[in-house]
Chains A and B, each alone.
Chain A
């Protein structure tokens, strides 16, 4: 069948819901939380209209239960999905470890939203990044198209390495903003993403019963951690291969875990994740016209962390401006820590500066990127940092 995309104008949340439908997900257990709600509302609508076959929706009383039910479903061999945001994700935290430890390839959409208090429903990456060490893979979408593509790819990657994956989109900037999304005809999605083959099939009545998530004494626990660590390492190759296959089939290539934009001859680059990188790319085009040799490096996959690609990038530039829409208190922006740490034992030593931007939905514009470019240029000319971490928007 020849690939002819179906173009629909949808919000980021609806893009996620359509991807869930096209992935032929079998179980969705979710609890509504702003701004995630319209994902599950749309899925509920698909079910109510009879547009999906074999999709069970489990209404639960909290996010902790949502993840617990998703884990149960995934353990039986079903393709399972949930979605959440901010405090809801925090409430799931304990169960996230159960999912990754039991090696269940669940896919979840997290709509990035600032943690309270002060109460906020706007964009901020601290909620998902606080789940960094739960053993989940994390994909950050720049736009609605990447939300749709990300969910489809996440299922394929997760089910290959048996590690759960989070697809992350920005509150309101993507979740409630409508844009054209190219969707893939069902038959072609089915070819790309065949039915799941579970690692251990709990519903296989031919085999002996077995216990899931068994107790391990100090004699055995360590090896299971190593196996999960190794699965994350292997996932990098799988991510690149699936991303390339996606490009060959549907025209959008995701083989780079860090998408580089006009970086070939760049003096310095802006690095960040998610929707703000769309603004950055546009700013890069304008800055290039003004004579700045700049590029953008969008970190698509935060876990597993693409150390190798970061090294390739870092050894060819004089500076990296890391834009963090998140913060680790007592330290600095989270991506900044990761990027610096990944390069420490290499010979790549660009000047790296951290700009804390957009927390709690604060607007981040092309003009802001220009101001940061001016600052970066001055730093590089001088050869030293003014400050390592700058709270860019602070009212002074």
Chain B
């Protein structure tokens, strides 16, 4: 798990725009919350069961943060630094491969 998080973080960079032309037309995905670890807010934690996962990526699309990413083997993993534990992924997963479990702190 930890090594995968390492990979994920190496990819994600804060975006710095130096001229107005570089900005997207609408305010989408600015990378401004990268340093804001929204995972601190969580009570329940999503846990992925790879035996049930069919790699449909509905969870990936629906996660509002987005805290779900796709691993090199094609299965999904949760970036717990950002996952706020809302449970949308578990609710949307068609095979119930994601369960919400009480997090021990």
Q: Most chain-B Cβ atoms within 10 A of its Cβ — which of A101, A205, A213, A224?
A: A224
Interface residue? B94 (CB, 8 A): no
CA distance A48 to B45 in the complex (A): 44
User: What's the Cα separation between A205 and B70 when bound, in Å?
Assistant: 14
In this complex, how many residues of chain A approach chain B with their Cβ under 8 Å: the count is 22
Contact yes or no, A226 B27, CB < 8 A: no
How far apart sit A217 and B23, CA to CA, in the bound complex (Å)? 14
Is A223 a contact partner of B32 (Cβ separation < 8 A)?
Answer: no
Query: Would you call B27 and A216 a contact (CB within 8 A)?
Result: yes
Chain A contact surface mostly: loop
A210 contact set on B, CB distance < 8 A: 28-29
Min CB–CB distance B68 → chain A (angstroms):
9
Q: What is the size category of the interface that chain B forms with chain A?
A: 10 to 19
Tell me if B20 and A226 are in contact (CB < 8 A). Answer: yes
A1 at the interface (CB under 8 A from B): no
* A211 partner residues in chain B, CB cutoff 8 A: 28-29, 66
Q: B26, A216: Cβ atoms under 8 Å?
A: no
Instruction: Looking at the assembled complex, report how far the CB atom of B23 sits from the nearest CB atom of chain A, in whole angstroms.
Output: 5
Query: Given A205-B61, A220-B17, A223-B20, do A162 and B26 touch, yes or no (CB 8 Å)?
Result: yes
Known: A223-B17, A226-B20, A227-B20. A209 touches B60 (CB 8 A): yes
A6 at the interface (CB under 8 A from B): no
Docked CA distance A209–B61 (Å): 6
The one of B23, B29, B33, B61 that contacts A224, using a Cβ cutoff of 8 Å: B23
User: Which residues on the B side are within 8 Å of A162 (C-beta)?
Assistant: 25-26
> Contact at B32–A217, with CB atoms within 8 Å?
yes
Q: Mark A196-221, 1 if CB is under 8 A from B, else 0.
A: 00011000010001111111110010
In the complex, chain B residues whose CB is within 8 Å of the CB of A205:
61
B residues 44-64 touching A (CB-CB < 8 Å): 60-61, 63
Interface positions, chain A 96-121, Cβ under 8 Å from B, are 101-103
Contact, CB under 8 Å: B26 / A199: yes
Given contacts A205-B61, A209-B61, A209-B66, contact A227 B23 (CB under 8 A): yes
Beyond contacts A212-B27, A216-B30, A223-B23: 18 other A-B pairs, Cβ-Cβ < 8 A, are A102-B26, A103-B25, A200-B24, A209-B60, A209-B61, A210-B28, A211-B66, A212-B28, A214-B32, A215-B30, A215-B32, A216-B32, A217-B32, A220-B23, A224-B23, A226-B20, A227-B23, A231-B25
12 cross-chain CB contacts under 8 A:
A101-B27, A102-B26, A103-B25, A199-B25, A200-B24, A200-B28, A210-B29, A213-B27, A215-B33, A216-B27, A220-B27, A227-B20
